[in-house]
Structure 1
Amino acid sequence: MAIETNETPRDALQSGGLTRRNLLALVGIGGSLIALKGTLSGCSSDTSGQEAAPQLDCQRLAAAMATPFRDLDPTTSPLVSTFAIVDLVYEPLYRVDPFPPRELTPVLATELPREINPTTYRIHLREGTTFHDGSPLTADDVVFTLDRIRNPETNSPYLTSFTVIDAVTAVSDTEIELTLKHPTTLLAERLALIWVLSRNATSNSPDALKLEPIGTGPYRVQSAVSEQSISLESFSDYQGDRRLGFVELEISVVPDDNARVSGLRTGQFSVIENAPANTYETLSNLDGISIEAVPSSLATYLMFHTAQPPFDDPRVRRAVLYAIDRDSITQIAFAGHAEPAWSHMTSPQIAGAVETSTVYSYDVDRASELLAEAGLGGGITIDMLINNDETLTQQAPIIQENLRQVGITANVIPGDIQAQAQRAIDGNYHMWLTSADAGAFAGDAEWGLRWLYGGAFVPRQARWENAGLIEMLDIALAAPDLDTRNQALAEAQHLLQTEAPLIPVHFVDKVTAWDSALDGYQPLPKSGFGLDTVNC
């Protein structure tokens, strides 16, 4: 559908007439909103003409996730999609509630770590727990899992979170002892990253860490195809507190937004995650469909290659951040279901997040001043990677136009996230628009900052390391009290906001749509499916 106007969208951007109509034309989605009519096939009318109550089939539930999983190894995978499945197959020592105030509760542990002395703790395990293969869970399995993560040869992205642990031993079949290198107030929070593996299953079959996992969770894997689908069945000997009533779960990977929505409409899927934000209003008005946007810790980020011009100069990185019109992106790419990350390095949903003194408001003059200070007056050409995600690709023409106004030409290179990550590792880029959700794994800023900036991501892909940052995070980890921890975290966030190797652009609402027959369904603020509260 053509949009008639006497002024071109590009002219409107240049003159400041930045309207939703102009932006829709610029990004080419003016006529691409999905036309949705009718209701879910499972919600029909009876013979009297009155609408029948939705019927819920508790035998089988089909769901669609937006991002692929490669394998199901919770000790090495950095993908939130993997952990959406891991959450159903494995159990952690502790679970962080995904909803504020994000409280921590024991799962396989029966208590919070019991202090023997400031550097020695013991944890008693839930008794009577069995793995999917019938073998009993013992303390040795917990030791095996922790040692696997702590072994540098495993190449676990969670290794840096456990450097505080000096040794872990099995005191008995149901109790472990942890010896720390120094005291910390975050031990239980770090142990929430542990999804316990079976030593025997893992040692006997390499597939146990790929697509045939053996856990203690409420579901066991029937079959799985990497990056495509997984079939789960309820585990009859599950001993935990979760009550998921469905006998079978079928989870399909459907990256295409339109295909997920179509599958929901036709009854192919009962739940879809990452429902397109621009379909929110239409879907919310359909009988038989529920949709909700939940604030989350998911963020879109700009990463800079800091080891080559022009982004080896932090002033140029900051110039780009001032040049981007985040309000317009909020309305176009997210249909209002996101918040610009003006001055936060981590989501306000996360404990320890602070508002920094540097505020990257939309300020073209300030961006031009910084470029001039860096000796760059224009004529800059860069390669910008963008993941194949509709909410990211819709931002491309807006960001390109924003940067053009300050003399930067951005060549957009789209691709799937794995290909983009390899380009970043190889150094074949200048700037990368991507997304990440550190809050999906743990509930505090120390973990999120260390995972992104002190682990394998920013040092390897942005070529940026800072010993002062690691020192601040170490102080936060070893802090004897909350005030000391928060002060160190605040200093770390101020440093990162100024240096800007990787900066959040938006904090994104998690939009989930589901069949209204799922009475009690609770959409999650992270990847996954909130089935625990469904009345089944």
Structure 2
Amino acid sequence: MTSADTPAVLLSRARFLRLAGLAGLAGLAGIAACSRETAPVTSGTTPVRGGQLVFARNQDVVTLDPVRAGDNGSIFILYNVVDTLVTIGADSSDVEPALAREWAVSPDGRIYTFRLRDGVRFSDGSALSEQDVVFSLDRARAPDTAYGFLFDSVTAVRAPGTGVVEVELAQPHPPLLENLTIFAAGVVSRAAVTANPDAVGSGPVATGPFRVESSRRGDRTVLVRNEHYWKADRPHLDRVEFPIVDSDDARVLALRSGDVHVVEAVPLTQVDRLDGADGVDVAVEPVYGLSTIYLEHGDPLIADRRVRRALNLAVDREAVLSAAYFGIGEIANSTVPKQRDWAADVPRYPYDPRQAAELVAQAGAEGRQVPLLVSGGDSVAVATAQIVEQGWRAAGLDPRIEKVDFTTLVDRYAKQDFTALLGFETADVTSPWEMPLLHYTVDSPNNGMHTSYVNGGLAELVRRGSAATDPAEQAQLLRDAQRLALDEAPVVPLVFLSAATGRRSAVGGLRTTGTGWWRLEDVWLST
């Protein structure tokens, strides 16, 4: 749970399972994008080997089984414990080799052949084999897992030879490589999982830069160097400790005092005050995130497109940016997060309460109640909701802000027990198709992000775009989908988001990825 200074919910990620603990990344996303973007910390230019990093987090670990994790507290740890066949580059733009040293795609785009690195060992010293990869990917694509939908196109994973893995698809699906970078596709030891299936949740036997030394709920998780890691020059650190510090103020105080080196989720109200304090700075880095108002289309009022467009036109996003986000941010012109091939020239909704009122009148909706569900302990959400309420009322509607605690908000979102709900979402992979697939495909695994929205034309654009092999065609179809989705107004998009991370000057190499985690193998502490 976040404090009053941080957005409390990221209604996001691939499935609702992600909501079990999304307060952490919501706080992380509390600073919106771009006007205050900073570079990663570089404490000197030469990495130093050794030392213990203390990274204060506001969210605990639930499970460290890659295919069962659905909370940010667990997922961030997993990204530093498991390896995948391929990974995202430092700037989050390219897919790079990881456990696979190379790969090839068949001419018809249906078979991906990966050749594994030689000599890779698990954290227990046992050798990685192609069978471990097959086992792990079969676990990841199982239909009862949170992220199995990313691999719906996969029909088979097999090992045709030593050190070789093939992934066969029913039809071309270019996002596959990017989808394979997700933690859920992390490779674990088949022998270890088979011998003790329950133990994987406490810390998998994997091939990443760190291994789990201990994880105590309500206290801390400790990672130590994986001495068998295949990169000879990584990680730089010997040990990373993650104490759980729920209070924003307590985390900031610990950073200023030097008790911790890094804190996540710097409160919006404290960024300017903390940045530049003695030995401390705050990095604000873009993530693939969006603050938005979800609309439940089972409500006849919301089912009317005129009303949905009115709800969008009646929001003064400039006021939201100024009053709720302290002038730091970027107004959204998309109903999903800003990623590759996002079209800057697609016009966003203007603030036009007069046109909104005309649409409300045309729909016969004057005076209709519109409950807006928000997290009452979240000052950013409450400030945003108050601005939204004023605009919707000026359009002739009767908005009612309903403040609930975070747990209730999550529960009602899962049950689709809302008319309008203020939340946040982030993408899990660098592919720009994950979120459109979740929002707009007819067979969306979460019922259109729990909104019941269906549009056949939009679904077809997303289907074609995610299967297109020509980059130019992909970009055009994504632009078309972006434009049509805004016109359809299935949600009320507000602001593109960023991560705010505080760190001591001794920390080097820290960078937030676009998907909102930190690659700690590259981090060091200067002496």
Pairwise TM-score range, normalised by the shorter structure:
0.7 to 0.9
Consecutive unaligned residues in structure 2, runs of 5 or more: 1-47
Displacement after TM superposition at 1:231 (Å)? 1.3
Question: Kindly, what percent of the aligned residue pairs are identical?
Answer: 27
- Which residue of 69, 89, 94 corresponds with 2:86? 94
Pick the aligned partner of 1:415 from 405, 415, 418.
405
Aligned partners of 2:345, 2:367: CA distance in 1, in Å? 29
Is 1:125 aligned to residue 116 of structure 2?
yes
Name structure 1 gaps, 5 residues minimum: 1-55
Shift in alpha-carbon separation, 1:137–1:464, aligned structure 2, 3 A? same
Whole-Å Cα distance in 2 between the matches of residues 287 and 311 of structure 1? 51
Q: What is the alpha-carbon distance in structure 2 between the residues aligned to residue 487 and residue 333 of structure 1?
A: 34
Counterparts of residues 170-249 of structure 1 (less than 5 Å): 170-193=159-182, 194-226=185-217, 229-240=220-231, 243-249=234-240
Q: State how 1:16-95 maps to structure 2 within 5 Å.
A: 58-95=50-87
SS in 2 for 1:354: coil
Rounded Cα–Cα distance in structure 2 between residues aligned with 1:251 and 1:163: 35
Residue 108 in 1 paired to residue 99 in 2? Answer: yes
Tell me how far 1:346 sits from its aligned partner: 3.6
Aligned CA distance change for structure 1 residues 183 and 223 (closer, same or farther; 3 Å): same
Q: Does 1:340 align with 2:331?
A: yes
Task: Give the AA of the match of 2:82.
Answer: Y
Q: Secondary structure at the match of 2:524?
A: coil
Higher relative contact order (CA 8 A, sep 6+): 2
Paired residue type of 2:405 = G
Distance in 1 (CA, whole Å) between partners of 2:315 and 2:435 is: 25
AA paired with 1:82? S
User: What pairs up with 1:392-471 in 2 under 5 angstroms?
Assistant: 392-406=381-395, 407-416=397-406, 419-438=408-427, 441-454=428-441, 455-459=444-448, 461-471=450-460
Q: The residue matched to 2:302 in structure 1 has which SS?
A: coil
- Structure 2 partner of 1:279: 270
Shift of residue 392 of structure 1?
A: 2.6
Alpha carbons of structure 1 residues 519 and 478: separation in structure 2 relative to 1, 3 Å:
closer
What's the TM-score, normalizing by structure 2? 0.82
1:264-306 per-position Cα deviation (integer Å, ceiling 9, x unaligned): 1222321011212222221123111111212222221211111
- Contact 1:217/1:240, CA 8 A, preserved across alignment: no
Distance 1:241 1:312, change over 3 A: farther
Q: Aligned in 2, Cα 1:323/1:227: closer, same or farther, shift over 3 Å?
A: farther
Amino acid at match of 2:373: M
Alignment CA distance shift 1:63-1:172 (3 Å) = same
Aligned to 2:145: 155
Q: Please say if 1:316 is aligned against 2:303.
A: no
Alignment-mate amino acid for residue 119 of structure 1: R
Equivalent residues of 1:65, 1:255 under 8 A apart? yes
Q: Secondary structure at the match of 2:112?
A: strand
| Alignment partners' CA distance in 1, 2:107 and 2:359 | 54
Contact 2:101/2:115 (8 A) holds in 1: yes
Cα distance change on mapping 1:340 and 1:67 into 2, 3 Å: farther
Amino acid at match of 1:518: V
Q: Show the counterpart of 1:290.
A: 281
Letter in structure 2 aligned against 1:177: E
**Could you say which residue in structure 2 is the equivalent of 1:19?**
none
Contact persistence 2:115–2:163 (CA under 8 A): yes
Structure 1 stretches of at least 4 aligned residues deviating more than 6 Å after TM superposition: none
Corresponding residue for residue 3 of structure 1: none
**Normalised TM-score (structure 1):** 0.81
Larger Rg: 1
**Contact 2:173 2:466 (C-alpha < 8 Å) held by counterparts:** yes
SS of the residue aligned with 2:292? strand
The one-letter code sitting in structure 2 at the alignment partner of 1:353 is W
* Kept in 2: contact 1:345–1:496 (CA 8 A): yes
Displacement after TM superposition at 1:409 (Å): 2.2
One-letter amino acid matched to 1:321: N
